[in-house]
Amino acid sequence: MAGKPTVLFVCVHNAGRSQMAAALLAHHAAGAVEVRSAGSAPADTINPTVREVMAELGIDLSGQQPKVLTTDAVQASDVVISMGCGDACPIFPGKLYLDWQLEDPAGRSIEEIRPIRDEIDARVRSLLAELVPAQVAGRATVITPPGRP
């Protein structure tokens, strides 16, 4: 990838997993990666419990809205990460496609969403280390969920 890599996170409703992933990558990358998210059938709003679990980490999703997945968004991205959207994502040559199998936070309690968030955070950190290792070495921030040392 030449220049700043672009990552697109896709899930069905763009109201939970993909929003958490995009916010976490944007936070950790601190401008080193362009981040997008979209849904194949976007919801009207982001899951309020997802907003709450992200706020625990100091990440505010109140200004975000679910967005529809477009061919242009996929074409403009270097990495496309699906999170349970099936075959709705168009395929273009030269892109890196990953499928992260993660629980859907829809209808779950905050206690059930925290481990999903933490799994996404671990995957995002690993992805970031692969995409821009020299740019983020020593600069990544550590987010400690409540109740953990």
Measured between alpha carbons, how far is 129 from 124 in angstroms, rounded to an integer? 9
- The number of angstroms, rounded, from the C-alpha of 100 to the middle of its chain's C-alpha atoms is 10
CATH number attached to the domain at 6-136: 3.40.50.2300
Query: pLDDT tens digits, residue range 22-42?
Result: 999 999 999 999 999 999 899
Every domain of the chain and the residues it spans: 6-136
Q: Which neighbouring-strand residues pair with 7?
A: 35, 79
- Would the pTM count as exceeding 0.75? yes
What would the pLDDT profile of 36-92 be if each residue is shown by its tens digit? Answer: 999 989 999 999 999 999 999 999 999 999 999 999 999 999 999 999 766 566 677
pLDDT for 88 equals: 60
**Nearest-5° angle of CA 4, CA 53, CA 101?**
60
CA–CA dist 86, 27 (Å, integer)? 27
- Burial 41-80, CB ≥16 within 10 A → b, else e: ebbeebbebbbebbeebebebeebebeebeeebbeebbbb
Q: Which residue has the tokens 């481990």?
A: 115
Number of H helices, E strands in the chain: 5, 4
